[in-house]
Amino acid sequence: MSDCLFCKIIAGDIPSKQVYEDDHLVVFHDIAPKAPTHVLVVPRKHIATLNDADNSDHDLFGHIALTIPKIAKQLGLTDGYRTVLNTDKGGGQEVFHIHFHILGGGPMPFA
Ligand code: AMP
Ligand code: ZN
């Protein structure tokens, strides 16, 4: 998606503070953090919203769920964290390339 902000970040065309990457995911700090630690877990595959995922993404979502704890540990979120997935305008989604927020490192609640 040539006009997608997160596709451009994944391609390296827009800078980000990356903390993790693998064959399927890129993770970088949110530019406007809502918690002391706030990163975005972004699949390399462009999927606009959760409503646009399909059965071919089954393994990807399993991989995300199993990788988030590793990223949280790497970031030092030893006492827990919040994971958020906003879906479409009514869910507060602003960037239409699916991403999970990981928020932690301070007193709750976070956005
Ligand atoms: P959402 O509302 O779930 O779509 O979240 C989009 C998030 O992307 C917001 O928390 C923004 O602060 C964040 N964001 C927007 N532009 C950038 C950027 N260039 N680099 C990192 N995070 C960004
Ligand atoms: Zn994209």
Q: Say which CATH superfamily domain 5-104 falls into.
A: HIT-like (3.30.428.10)
Q: Are the C-beta atoms of 80 and 17 separated by less than 8 Å?
A: no
- Which pLDDT value is given to residue 111? 64
H, E, C per residue of 13-48: CCCCCEEEECCCEEEEECCCCCCCEEEEEEECCCCC
Candidate of 6, 9, 31 to mutate for ligand 1, largest count of ligand atoms within 8 Å of Cβ: 31
Atom of ligand 1 nearest to the CA of 14: 19
Is 37 a pocket residue for ligand 1 (Cβ < 6 Å)? Answer: no
Render pLDDT for 97-107 as a digit per residue (tens, 0 to 9).
999 999 999 98
72 CA → ligand 2 middle, Å = 23
> What are the sequence ranges of the domains in the chain?
5-104
Structure tokens at 35: 């918690």
- Which pLDDT value is given to residue 109? 80
- Which pLDDT value is given to residue 1? 62
List residues bridging with 64 in a β-sheet: none
- Which pLDDT value is given to residue 110? 73
From first to last of its 111 residues, what are the pLDDT tens digits of the chain? 679 999 999 999 999 999 999 999 999 999 999 999 999 999 999 999 999 999 999 999 999 999 999 999 999 999 999 999 999 999 999 999 999 999 999 988 876
CA distance 36 to 60: 28
- Which pLDDT value is given to residue 47? 98
Bond before 109 cis per omega within 30 degrees: yes
CA 18 centroid distance within chain: 11
